[in-house]
């Protein structure tokens, strides 16, 4: 393997240690701890496992986690009502609506009920606009975590050709917006793209976010490209790791690359929301 590892686990630990100190300082001054509220609908086992991980990480850095669990048969209006209550609750700093919701729930409508100042997962239209124009707001957690990881390792983006494979509202689309805001030349690829191999093979930076194991062959990767694999299914990523690592200059492992950075970004933005709402520590 010639590629160097973009170690999200190590970077996330550094961020967590910084957050512990910051939360302690803020809490001492305000008499309050930052609060992250999670809304989860239904009993999807993967979603509940992920929420438990977030709760554990919250407690580790001093953030107070709150969880609202709604029945699987809940309607869009019922979920939206709970989100609005949290938006109006002055003790709550951040709101996360766990994805995916059951099919009868309109996620976009639910997301838009989140107070933009508490949108620490970066899912509202306002947050997407802020990412596109580099305005004050919160980044989508996974793309934001990826950008922090690239920054940590000094990866230059300006002027480079970046390909994002995937166009979900919470990952692919905001990822491209953040790359564009850093002056990369961005191409989106998706299920209707007819020349995926050609697009990937020309990219200086590849962000795989399709959730389809092995979708991107390792020998498609351009020599010395940067590969960020944000796909995860069946304990595998979207990119053939071993073959890609022979060609890339930097690459994220799966797991241990993007995942820890997603949670680190979410927690960091929750603390930032608390700081904005109560003043600097």
pLDDT tens, position by position, 119-166: 999 999 999 999 999 888 999 999 999 999 999 999 999 999 999 999
Q: Do 111 and 118 contact (CB within 8 A), yes or no?
A: no
Angle at which helices 45-61 and 258-278 cross, to 10°: 50
Q: Cis (ω within 30 of 0) for the bond into 100?
A: yes
Instruction: Check 54, 118, 229, 238 and give the catalytic one.
Output: 54
Read off the tokens for 266.
């979410």
Domains and CATH numbers, the chain: 31-115 (3.40.50.10860), 141-259 (3.40.50.720)
pLDDT one-digit tens code per residue, 187-228: 999 999 999 999 999 999 999 999 999 999 999 999 999 999
What is the pTM assigned to this prediction?
0.95
Considering the chain, what is the average pLDDT of its residues?
95
Instruction: Check 7, 98, 118, 119 and give the catalytic one.
Output: 98
Residue 214's alpha-carbon distances to 142, 148, 209, 274, in angstroms, are 20, 25, 12, 40
Residue 87's alpha-carbon distances to 113, 114, 251, in angstroms, are 8, 6, 38
Instruction: Check 7, 93, 121, 238 and give the catalytic one.
Output: 121
Residue 121 is a catalytic residue: yes
pLDDT for position 281:
54
Residue 207's alpha-carbon distances to 145, 178, 227, in angstroms, are 13, 12, 6
């Amino acid at each position: 393997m010639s590629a160097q590892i973009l170690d999200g686990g190590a970077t996330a630990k550094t961020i967590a240690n910084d957050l512990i100190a910051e939360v302690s300082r803020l809490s001492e001054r305000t008499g309050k701890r930052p609060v992250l509220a999670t809304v989860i609908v239904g009993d999807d086992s993967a979603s509940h496992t992920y929420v438990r991980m977030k709760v554990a990480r919250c407690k580790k850095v001093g953030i107070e986690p709150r969880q609202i669990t709604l029945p699987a048969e809940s309607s869009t209006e019922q979920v939206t009502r709970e989100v609005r209550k949290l938006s109006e609750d002055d003790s709550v700093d951040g709101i996360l609506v766990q994805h995916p919701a059951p099919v009868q729930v309109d996620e976009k409508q639910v997301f838009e009920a989140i107070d933009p100042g508490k949108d620490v997962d970066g899912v509202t239209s306002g947050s997407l606009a802020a990412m596109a124009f580099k305005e004050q707001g919160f980044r989508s957690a996974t793309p934001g975590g990826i950008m922090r990881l690239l920054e940590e390792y000094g990866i230059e983006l300006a002027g480079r050709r970046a390909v994002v494979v995937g166009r979900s509202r919470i990952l692919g689309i905001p990822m491209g917006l953040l790359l564009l805001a850093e002056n990369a030349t961005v191409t989106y690829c998706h299920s209707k793209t007819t020349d995926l191999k050609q697009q990937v093979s020309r990219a200086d930076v590849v962000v795989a976010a399709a959730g389809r194991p092995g979708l991107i062959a390792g020998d498609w990767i351009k020599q010395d490209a940067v590969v960020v694999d944000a796909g995860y299914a069946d304990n595998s990523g979207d990119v053939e790791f071993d073959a890609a690592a022979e060609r890339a200059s930097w690459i994220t492992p799966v797991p241990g690359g993007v995942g820890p950075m997603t949670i680190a970004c979410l927690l960091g933005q929750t603390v930032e929301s608390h700081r904005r709402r109560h003043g600097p520590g």
